Amino acid sequence: MKFSDIAGQEEIKYRLRKTVSDNRVSHAQLFLGPEGSGKLAMALAYAQYINCTARTPEDSCGTCPSCIKYAKLAHPDLHFIYPVTTTKEIDKDPISKKFIHHWRALVESSGGYVSLADWYQKIGLENKQGIINSEDCNEIIKTLSYKSYESEYKVMIIWMIEKLYHAAAPKILKILEEPPDKTLFLLISEHNDLILPTILSRTQLVKFRALNDDELISALTMNESADSAAAGRIRYVANGNLNLARKIIQTGESDQSNFELFRNWMRICYKKDVAEIHKLTAEFHSLGREKQKKFFSYALKATRYCLMNSIGNENAIRAEGEELKFIRDFTPFINQANINLLNEAFNTASYHIERNGSANIIFMDLSLKMTGWLRLR
């Protein structure tokens, strides 16, 4: 992975290159940002750049032995940790290295733009939640106790550090604060509020932003063979998430299913149709946890758009067609009396889903509350 392979984020590329040229590479860095912003791809490009034997001021060469091994994710001094749990294939003692062939295949095929849902689907996690467990923490300590094989730096990439099991965290605090010489930790996260403070305090923050429309369109037209008209439409749905934009091109999927479910949900809640709410609860339960969380993210977005529309800021609404019509029609039901209740409820529901709460209970309880909230003025 080279810096030139990554869409946008030019200011971060510059800062990372400068840390190398100034010989000021921080031993523990946290790449924090939304899904599809390029955090994992940037971590790989940065590690490759640091260990490239023929790098230029702008990028790694891509052709030296080190770069070739990095491109295959098979460099002996490059190590990965990511959330796992038991699956049909690995039914006991799950640990990251047992899933490495799946990880390499997914990262290579996606160019480093990987979502948690993609990963869970790849390893067949179904409705379970992965964690970074104590065994993986022991593996970190063991792996980094060895000398590097052939590169200046040993690199440990911990993807989705917010999935670190709290009881396991103390195991790696010391090595994270005082690692062996020429060791680089690159931690990747989408939710800093879920990261333990003891981990946060030991890292240097590198904050990623969502891609802007021009960067997203450029990436789609140059690398994904999308025409400018299609890329222009996709930017509304993807909202700066290149991973989602690629998926829409490849599968034709979009936020349409979330929009239709949300519209139907709001209608039956307003009608106080408990029988239909019960049916919809079963449909929601069948989605699986990652899709359930994405649905509540969409609910937050939709209500935010309604609030924008109510104050005359329709230009900020990234929707069109039926979705835009619904936003306009639904706007009168979202106001100062209920917007805080809705936002807090959607965030709380997503949090409980994340913590393996019962989807049936969460959705039904929220639906019954919604029947009253939608009538507040």
Per residue in 288-307, pLDDT (tens digit) is 787 888 899 889 988 988 98
Does residue 136 carry a pLDDT above 70?
Answer: yes
pLDDT of amino acid 9? 92
- CA angle, residues 235, 236, 237, in degrees to nearest 5: 95
Predicted TM-score (pTM) of this structure? 0.75
Structure tokens given for 187: 């931690």
pLDDT of amino acid 226? 67
DSSP 18-85: HHHHTT---SEEEEE--TTS-HHHHHHHHHHHHH-SS--SSS--S-SHHHHHHHTT--TTEEEE--B-
| Distance of alpha carbon 183 from alpha carbon 165, whole angstroms | 23
| Distance of alpha carbon 148 from alpha carbon 77, whole angstroms | 6
Give me the phi and psi of 13, to 5 degrees please.
-55, -45
Does residue 49 carry a pLDDT above 80?
Answer: yes
Q: Give the mean pLDDT of 84-98.
A: 90
Q: Give the mean pLDDT of 237-244.
A: 81
User: What is the average pLDDT value for the chain, to the nearest integer?
Assistant: 89
pLDDT of amino acid 293? 86
Q: What is the DSSP letter of 210?
A: P
| Distance of alpha carbon 147 from alpha carbon 9, whole angstroms | 33
- Indicate the pLDDT class of residue 253, thresholds 50, 70 and 90: low
- Other Cβ atoms less than 10 A from the Cβ of 258: the count is 20
Does residue 105 carry a pLDDT above 90?
Answer: yes
Does residue 126 carry a pLDDT above 80?
Answer: no
Residues 146-164: tens digit of each pLDDT: 888 888 899 999 999 999 9
Among 10, 373, 2, 3, CA closest to 215: 10
| Distance of alpha carbon 266 from alpha carbon 101, whole angstroms | 43
- CA angle, residues 19, 20, 21, in degrees to nearest 5: 95
Q: Give the mean pLDDT of 236-255.
A: 75
Q: Give the mean pLDDT of 10-35.
A: 94
Looking at residue 279, its amino acid is K
